[in-house]
Chain A
Amino acid sequence: MSRHHEFLQGARDMLPMLLGAMPFGIIFGSLAGAAGLTPWQTIGMSVLVFAGSAQFIALSLLGGGATLAVLLLTTLVVNLRHALYSASLQPFVRHLPKRWRMPLAFWLTDEAFAVVQHRYAETDSSPHKHWYFLGAALAMYLNWQLCTLIGLVFGQSVPNIAAWGLDFAMLATFIGIVVPVLRNRPQVAAAVVAGAVALVGHGLPYKLGLMAAAGAGIVVGVVLERRYRLLQDEVF
């Protein structure tokens, strides 16, 4: 595929994710004012930070009067998963110059990761897969800015927008990403363990329960995968 086609295909494959992110972005724009952000700061946060879950947690902590240090530490813990995504995609972008790697990293969200990882897993040897990455990432970015604006401008006119439960859109999106991956026992076990640890650890400060759950799920997945491999080796 040509660069142009890769770019458009990336943007197109991102469309379902945009639907899932839309309510989330609109709510962010609507609630930021109540948490103490000016309209320019609201836009600034979406444009510069571009991390939905971290932005939401910042709002809730800001509203609760947390200190800057606590806010930033929490951002770090919540965003550590992006380091894992970065590690996961690194083998595919390592050949690119810095002027590609830096913007692609800036736009590396959960949703972009899920879609782009699929493209890289396909076996065709297109030399332009980074254009696909760019198209997917830019679609997500523009959608997020647009939804922040919509929330900012129209959010006040919808009574009780926070009580609608639009955050379910994020859960639906993540379910749509994870469930098709659960094709073997190590993956299922990783999900079960991560979910259980997250439940038990949800009360831990700085979202540390999330990191503990991610770590536990990954370890269980790897251990089981190795055990299955050993069993297979014994059979043959």
Chain B
Amino acid sequence: MENWLLIFGMLAITFTTRYSLFAFPDLRFPELVRQGLHYVPTAVLTAIVVPGMLLPDGQHLALSLDNAYLLAGLVTIGIAALTRNLLATIAGGLLVFFLLRWLFGQLPL
């Protein structure tokens, strides 16, 4: 029961944030806000990716050479910069990541 309360609460919160500005079609943004919006995806997604690569367990800095998240992340950035192709980036990145984890003996096989 408590879990359903959680689910409907999350639904309400998630929908409210996503609908927040769609709900006010007459609102016009000042120039400053419009400029800021150009940096939203870059800032938000980088803020998720960088800790994901450097703190794979969410707690401890892992700068060692057996950190597949960091190494494969750097390779993925390289693929993205060279190809600018999303499918190549995601598929190539995943391939390198699992290859590294296999080489490091980090897969639960």
Q: How far is the CA of A195 from the CA of B91 in the complex (A)?
A: 24
| B15 contacts A179, C-beta separation under 8 Å | no
Q: Find chain A residues with CB under 8 A from B97 CB.
A: 165, 168, 172
Chain A 48-105 residues near chain B, CB threshold 8 A: 48-51, 53-55, 58, 62, 68, 71-72, 75-76, 79-91, 93-96, 101-102, 104-105
CB within 8 Å of A: which of B60-87? 68-69, 72-73, 76-77, 80-81, 84, 86-87
List the A side residues contacting B15 at CB < 8 Å. 105-106
Pair A179/B93 contact, Cβ less than 8 Å:
no
Distance in Å: Cβ of B39 to nearest Cβ of chain A: 3
Contact partner of B80 (CB less than 8 A), chosen from A45, A91, A175, A214, is A175
Contact with B along A179-209 (1 / 0, CB 8 A): 1111000110011011111110010000001
For the complex formed, measure the closest distance between the CB of A47 and the CB atoms of chain B, giving whole angstroms. 9
Q: Given the complex of chains A and B, what is the CA–CA distance between A106 and B42 in angstroms?
A: 22
The answer on a CB contact under 8 Å between A191 and B42 is yes
> B40: shortest Cβ distance to chain A, in Å?
4
Q: Which residue of B lies closest to A171 (CB)?
A: B52
CB-CB under 8 A from A85, the residues of chain B are 18, 40-41
Say whether A169 contacts B2, CB under 8 Å: no
CB contacts (< 8 Å) of B39 on chain A: these are: 186-187, 190, 217-218, 220-222
Query: In the complex, which of the residues B13, B35, B72 contacts A225, with contact meaning CB atoms closer than 8 Å?
Result: B35
C-alpha gap A6/B43 in the complex (Å): 29
State the interface size on chain A (CB cutoff 8 A).
100
- Residue contact A213 to B18, C-beta cutoff 8 Å: no
The smallest C-beta distance from B43 to any residue of chain A, in angstroms, reads 3
* Given A45-B7, A105-B18, CB of A88 within 8 Å of CB of B40: yes
| Cβ-based interface call for A159 (8 A) | yes
Closest A residue to B45 by CB, please name it.
A174
Instruction: Give the contacting residue for B10; candidates A49, A84, A186, A197; CB below 8 A.
Output: A49
Residues of chain A touching chain B, judged by Cβ–Cβ distance below 8 Å, are 15-17, 19-20, 23, 36-38, 41, 44-45, 48-51, 53-55, 58, 62, 68, 71-72, 75-76, 79-91, 93-96, 101-102, 104-106, 108, 110, 113-114, 117, 159-160, 163-165, 167-182, 186-187, 190-191, 193-199, 202, 209-210, 213-222, 225-226
